[in-house]
Structure 1
Amino acid sequence: MSSEKTTFVYVTYIRATQQKIFDAITRPEIAARYWGHGNVSDWKVGSKWEHVRDNEEKKVNIAGDVIEIDPPKRLVISWSDPAEYDNREAHSRVTFDLVPYEDMVRLTVTHDELEAGSGMANGISRGWPLVLSSLKSYLETDEPMDVFANPCATETAA
């Protein structure tokens, strides 16, 4: 039984080098600063990677495999709930493409092979814009956003 698939694409321009952005994605101590999670792997094709919460619990929230890596231009990983890691059909795919653009880098994140209407598809459509905005803010100003903040909770009625 096959389900309908969907794709999410987000493009942003960051005033940083390709290497600095690539390192921010792949080095857990940097990712933790703007994402609240470290991306942990040896970053070799076929290796497992884990998205580990940067707190005392160190919970693995996402797991997958390194599919393709071409530092500092491209990274392709599979993406799944850790409980579904062994079920390859449950994996989606994330591609990070980093292309120089004038004095910036155009970062395109493509998250595809998502089951349309799934909790994962709904979650990443809200999560990627927040995480990538925090990445941009962190690399350009050294001030990440609070990716765990709930903006609706701080709004006041007019």
Structure 2
Amino acid sequence: MTDMSASFVYVTYIRTTPDKVFEAITRPEIACRYWGHENISDDWQPGSEWRHVRTNPARSVDLVGKVLESDPPRRLVLSWANESQQDDPAQFSRVIFDIDQQDRMVRLTVTHEDLQPGSGMLKGITEGWPLVLSSMKSLLETGQGMDL
């Protein structure tokens, strides 16, 4: 059995509303402005598939999964795997977006769990989530995401 005990948690505070954070995650035209990818699902309801698609001309799919929970605008839980490994259930991890109103700002907690210690996925998300979420914060607060 593969050890999937590793996890990564990132918390940030954003001067915006929970609705805008949820939309930034789930609306392709917003996600591409801070992530360089579009998050695409038919309806973002539990059981629906989602894809993480590069916005470059090739429109390649990098990540895939299913919506496990959806409680807009408070919580979104996704299964998450590299597109090339989607046929192996052991390669899927789980991402939890908890979106909480805190006075005039939002506390966004992203928990990425069920990761294999020392894996390429763990290394990638440990470097990637802080950049992506900082870029989201910049976009929502200033209208300009970072160049990733």
Q: TM-score, normalised by structure 2?
A: 0.97
Q: Which residue of 2 aligns with 1:156?
A: none
Q: Which residue of 1 aligns with 2:66?
A: 65
* Per-residue Cα deviation, 1:87-124 (whole angstroms, up to 9, x for no partner): 22210000000000010000000000011100000010
Q: Which residue of 1 aligns with 2:47?
A: 46
Please show how residues 145-156 of structure 1 align to structure 2 within 5 Å.
Answer: 145-147=146-148
SS at match of 1:77: strand
5+ long unaligned stretches in structure 2:
none
Distance across 1 between alignment mates of 2:78 and 2:22? 13
Distance across 1 between alignment mates of 2:4 and 2:70? 28
Task: State the 1:44 CA deviation.
Answer: 1.5
Check if 1:93 corresponds to 2:94: yes
Superposition CA RMSD, Å: 0.8
SS at match of 2:123: helix
- Deviating above 4 A after TM superposition, structure 1's stretches of 4 or more consecutive aligned residues are none
Check if 1:137 corresponds to 2:128: no
Q: Which residue of 2 aligns with 1:128?
A: 129
Distance across 1 between alignment mates of 2:56 and 2:12? 28
Distance across 1 between alignment mates of 2:113 and 2:60? 24
* Per-residue Cα deviation, 1:47-96 (whole angstroms, up to 9, x for no partner): 11000001110000111110000000000001101122122221000000
State the one-letter code of the partner of 2:22: F
Identity of aligned residues (%): 57
Task: State the 1:4 CA deviation.
Answer: 4.6
Check if 1:27 corresponds to 2:23: no
5+ long unaligned stretches in structure 1:
148-158
Task: State the 1:2 CA deviation.
Answer: 2.4
Aligned length: 147
Q: TM-score, normalised by structure 1?
A: 0.91
SS at match of 1:80: strand
